[in-house]
Amino acid sequence: MSVSNFEFKAEVKELLNLVINSLYSHKEIFLRELLSNASDAINKARYLSLTENDFKIDSSGWKIKIVIDRENKTLTISDNGIGMDRDDIINNLGTIAKSGTKEFAEKIKKIKETGDMSLIGQFGVGFYSAFMVAEKIEVTSQKIGAASAVKWSSSADGSYTVEDVEKDGNGTDVKLFIKDEDKEFLDSWRIKGIVKKYSDYIEYPIVMDVEKDNKVEEETINSMQAIWLKNRSDVKQEEYNEFYKHISHDFMDPLETIHYKAEGTLEFTALLFIPSKKPFDIYYKSGKFGPALYVKKVQIMEACEELVPQYLRFVKGVVDSSDLPLNVSREMLQNNRQITQINKNITKKILDTVKLMKKNDFSKYEIFHNEFGNVLKEGIHTDFEKKEEIASLIIFNTLKNLDKKIDFDTYLENMADNQEEIYYITGDTIEEIQKSPQLEYFKDKGIDVILLTGEIDEIIMGSLNEYKGKKVKSIVKGEIKIDESVKNEIKKKEEEFKDLIDKLKEYLKDNVKDVKPGTRLKDSLCCLIGDEHDIDDNMRRLFESMGQKIPESKKILEINFYHPVTNKMKALFDVDPKSPKIKDYAELIFDLALISNGEKPRNTVDFTKKISELMSESI
């Protein structure tokens, strides 16, 4: 039979190199990963046996078998699950989901630079972890319904082979050719210990051949007790941690565990986990999310999106219901009243857990918020009913709280006298935001402003609109409420500079919507302001970076008429209203406003030339 040769994707080569050479302290987890894969394969086959009549599947003897061959130095893990065909083998063992993405490359680079191997858990090593102990791996598999089997083979040298072979029955055999330095994994006691530690709760028998009374018999070495059906008091945190790693393929312990049973008109059991680190592909819409759905201990779906809202997609776990039919389909779930109720129940439980974490262990909550805060914020935009509840969980820095984060409730408690609105500004970094000229009035008056750096924060704050009756207001758009005394002073300046303002409007009519005295400015010369409902500059840049063209909208130019430059410009205007320097000043002021807004001058050559001329005149 012909053998086909393939090259691993470049990203897989990178990951293999890291796994083989850097995970020394985690070698034994390879068995956990392979047993998890075997369990998943049986889950899928078991589901087919219950729901599809086209397949004749013997469902009486599901099992995972471990075979040790000390003479040939091989360890084989076999299952009678769904199996794989040629395409499955290539897709599952030759590539990594989302390989080639910028995020994946960045994670690989970060692991190399920091040596923090826990970062691998953000995308999981799964099958590849077996190369830590194996110099070669052969995978022989036959998919249910297929006429023949296929064998995959690799020595982790950058390539692999695939060939058609014969196999007795469906399922998968993973044969590891163990390295000399890892012979400990050819000892039955060592294998039993690893199974007990990591995979005791797998619901199918994990068996090994043992000799008793001169007879070889299969011995089941795991308890097969579904951990989610146990009482919480009977489960140790270490057991929860290992089960989480089993279902998530993460190296790190979960940040929080939620285990409860709902009783009454709707009965189900949920075992849910909040991870410690976000997966690298959490922002990919194509990625599956949601807990696994079981019906009477039978896995129906590996990831059921209908069980949690998208803004809680980072939650892992299991939900087991006895009220749903075994043949429930994705389409049925979307309009199923029981699933809707489970979703509401789970969502409340998760949010309540996060609230308690925020109240009782703020340092732990900060870890959670740093990892998942931006995902949680999406709920403000998508879940109208809970948007204020979700907003109460968001924490941020403010002008007055640069060294610690606070929430909306704390902001409200500390609002200035007569302050009617919640003020915020968005930008790339806290350091850059602090330099924004639009903040000067607020700094001068001691009014606190929320500083936000998330890419979608402008959309989120626009969706929130108000919090506990207080309007949420961007300080870079629309009019702001200022003291009457300041307002009167600005009106006087507006009258004093009226003719000059009109001239500036004339010169800048193609670039700005209006020219006004700066209500926000104290020390800076100028700034750009949007209308109340204009798109934020950060959002516009974000959309443009994704290839989405946003219609241009002119800004309002605010000028500080107390600034020495404007006073000198007015003196020049009073002497000669037609002086060409007035136009030069107008264009320079607009370009300076663009720069302070994080943009380039319209024409860098002209801008540099005019600045140089002014400098030469002043020296």
Question: Taking a C-beta distance cutoff of 8 angstroms, is the pair 160, 154 a contact?
Answer: yes
Helical (H) or strand (E) element with 160: strand 159-165
Question: Taking a C-beta distance cutoff of 8 angstroms, is the pair 481, 560 a contact?
Answer: no
pLDDT at 59: 62
Question: Taking a C-beta distance cutoff of 8 angstroms, is the pair 258, 243 a contact?
Answer: no
Q: Residue 390: pLDDT above 50?
A: yes
Q: Residue 216: pLDDT above 80?
A: yes
CB atoms within 10 A of CB 508: 19
Instruction: Name the residue among 263, 269, 262, 289 with its Cα closest to residue 278.
Output: 289
Question: Taking a C-beta distance cutoff of 8 angstroms, is the pair 271, 227 a contact?
Answer: yes
Question: Taking a C-beta distance cutoff of 8 angstroms, is the pair 138, 153 a contact?
Answer: yes
What's the pLDDT band for 527 if we cut at 50, 70, 90?
Answer: very high
Using alpha carbons only, give the angle 189, 193, 194 rounded to the nearest 5 degrees: 120
Question: Taking a C-beta distance cutoff of 8 angstroms, is the pair 123, 284 a contact?
Answer: no
Quote the tokens at residue 585. Answer: 């000043």
CB atoms within 10 A of CB 539: 18
| Region class of 352: left (phi > 0), else alpha (psi between -120 and 50), else beta | alpha
Rounded to whole angstroms, the Cα distance separating 80 from 169 reads 8
pLDDT at 523: 92
Question: Taking a C-beta distance cutoff of 8 angstroms, is the pair 202, 242 a contact?
Answer: no
Q: What is the mean pLDDT of the chain?
A: 86
Q: What's the pLDDT tens digit per position in 93-135? A: 866 544 444 555 566 556 556 655 454 544 445 788 888 899 9
pLDDT at 113: 63
Side-chain half-sphere of 564: how many Cα atoms within 13 Å?
Answer: 0
Structure letter (DSSP) for residue 311: G
pLDDT at 73: 97
Q: How much is the pTM?
A: 0.73
Quote the tokens at residue 367. Answer: 């870890």
**Site of tokens 């002008």:** 399
If you average pLDDT over residues 373-382, what whole number do you get? 94
pLDDT at 27: 83
State residue 292 phi and psi, 5-degree precision.
Answer: -70, 140
Q: Please state whether beta strands 3-7 and 159-165 pair in parallel, antiparallel, or not at all (unpaired).
A: antiparallel
pLDDT at 123: 44
pLDDT at 64: 96
Question: Taking a C-beta distance cutoff of 8 angstroms, is the pair 407, 395 a contact?
Answer: yes
Question: Taking a C-beta distance cutoff of 8 angstroms, is the pair 22, 125 a contact?
Answer: no
pLDDT at 324: 77
pLDDT at 121: 46
- C-alpha distances out from residue 65 to 1, 35, 58, 138, 543, Å: 28, 9, 17, 16, 52
Q: Map out the domains of the chain with their CATH numbers.
A: 3-220 (3.30.565.10), 227-360 (3.30.230.80), 395-474 (3.40.50.11260), 484-534+546-618 (1.20.120.790)
SS3 187: coil
Instruction: Name the residue among 484, 583, 476, 580 with its Cα closest to residue 531.
Output: 476
Rounded to whole angstroms, the Cα distance separating 17 from 158 reads 10
Question: Taking a C-beta distance cutoff of 8 angstroms, is the pair 45, 144 a contact?
Answer: yes
pLDDT at 258: 97
Q: Residue 89: pLDDT above 80?
A: yes
pLDDT at 94: 67
pLDDT at 60: 67
Rounded to whole angstroms, the Cα distance separating 452 from 391 reads 14
Question: Taking a C-beta distance cutoff of 8 angstroms, is the pair 311, 378 a contact?
Answer: yes
Q: What's the pLDDT tens digit per position in 232-260? A: 999 999 999 988 988 887 878 999 999 99
Alpha-carbon Rg for the chain in angstroms: 32
What crossing angle do the helices spanning 337-360 and 362-382 adopt, rounded to 10°?
140
Quote the tokens at residue 168. Answer: 């007795």
If you average pLDDT over residues 211-238, what whole number do you get? 89
If you average pLDDT over residues 400-413, what whole number do you get? 96
Q: Please state whether beta strands 74-79 and 64-69 pair in parallel, antiparallel, or not at all (unpaired).
A: antiparallel
Quote the tokens at residue 271. Answer: 């075992």
SS3 172: strand
Q: What's the pLDDT tens digit per position in 563-610? A: 999 999 999 999 999 998 999 999 999 999 999 888 889 888 888 888
> Does 279 or 574 have the greater pLDDT score?
574
> Does 286 or 485 have the greater pLDDT score?
485
pLDDT at 383: 94
If you average pLDDT over residues 538-566, what whole number do you get? 78
Range with the poorest average pLDDT among 45-54, 217-226, 443-452: 45-54
State residue 227 phi and psi, 5-degree precision.
Answer: -65, -30
If you average pLDDT over residues 21-39, what whole number do you get? 78
If you average pLDDT over residues 262-270, what whole number do you get? 88
Q: Please state whether beta strands 215-220 and 206-212 pair in parallel, antiparallel, or not at all (unpaired).
A: antiparallel
Quote the tokens at residue 352. Answer: 């309540």
Give burial (CB, 10 Å; 0-12/13-18/19+) of 359.
Answer: exposed
Rounded to whole angstroms, the Cα distance separating 55 from 44 reads 13
If you average pLDDT over residues 526-538, what whole number do you get? 81
If you average pLDDT over residues 491-495, what whole number do you get? 90
CB atoms within 10 A of CB 305: 18
pLDDT at 417: 84
